Amino acid sequence: MADYVLNEWVWADAVGENGRTRQLEAFQVLSALSERSDRIVVVKGSSFYAKAWKLCIAMTLPAREIAQFFKLNFLFNSDKCRLLNESELEQFPLSLSDVKNDDQYLVRAQLTATGSVIITTDRPLKAALDQAGIPCEHRDDFVARYLAPGAR
């Protein structure tokens, strides 16, 4: 079992901002995550959390369906989602001064959920985390690996 801290690329992909292929991949990743023993780590009140709820009323059907799937299969399922309150999060390491304020909750969530991996499209964030030895994977690498035939 693995724990993943996803950032907002999931929701940008879900609404189709990055094209139809990535929209489909967002759903496929969530679907695969729901079928495996893996979990996602979500911080209540974070931008990731807020965007998930906002998409539940999205105008486009695929985005709304993806958000509903996420809500029902993850947010309401403690076996699939480790939901953290901000007050539970580890302190942000001062050594990561290159990480933008908006992304600090991801690092704090990863540090709280020991052994989890941050999945991001943000190259500067990934570079800073790689430098610090914090487990992180680029979205494209993760999707290719996670959705590969025979992946488990």
Q: Would the pLDDT of 58 be above 70?
A: no
- Give the whole-angstrom CA distance, residue 118 versus residue 110: 7
Residue 27's domain comprises 3-146
Q: What is the CATH number of the domain that holds 45?
A: 3.40.50.1010
Q: What was the pLDDT predicted at 30?
A: 95
Let me know if residue 114 belongs to a domain. yes
Instruction: Report yes or no: 89 and 114 within 8 Å, Cβ to Cβ.
Output: no
What separation in angstroms does the CA of 111 have from each of 3, 10, 58, 114, 151? 12, 21, 32, 6, 26
What is the pTM (predicted TM-score) of this model? 0.94
Q: What Rg value do the Cα atoms of the chain yield, rounded?
A: 15
The backbone torsions φ and ψ at residue 136, rounded to the nearest 5 degrees and listed phi first, read -155, 145
Q: Would the pLDDT of 24 be above 90?
A: yes
In the chain, the number of structural domains is 1
Let me know if residue 151 belongs to a domain. no
| Per-residue model confidence as pLDDT tens digits over 80-130 | 999 999 999 999 999 999 899 999 999 999 999 999 999 999 999 999 999
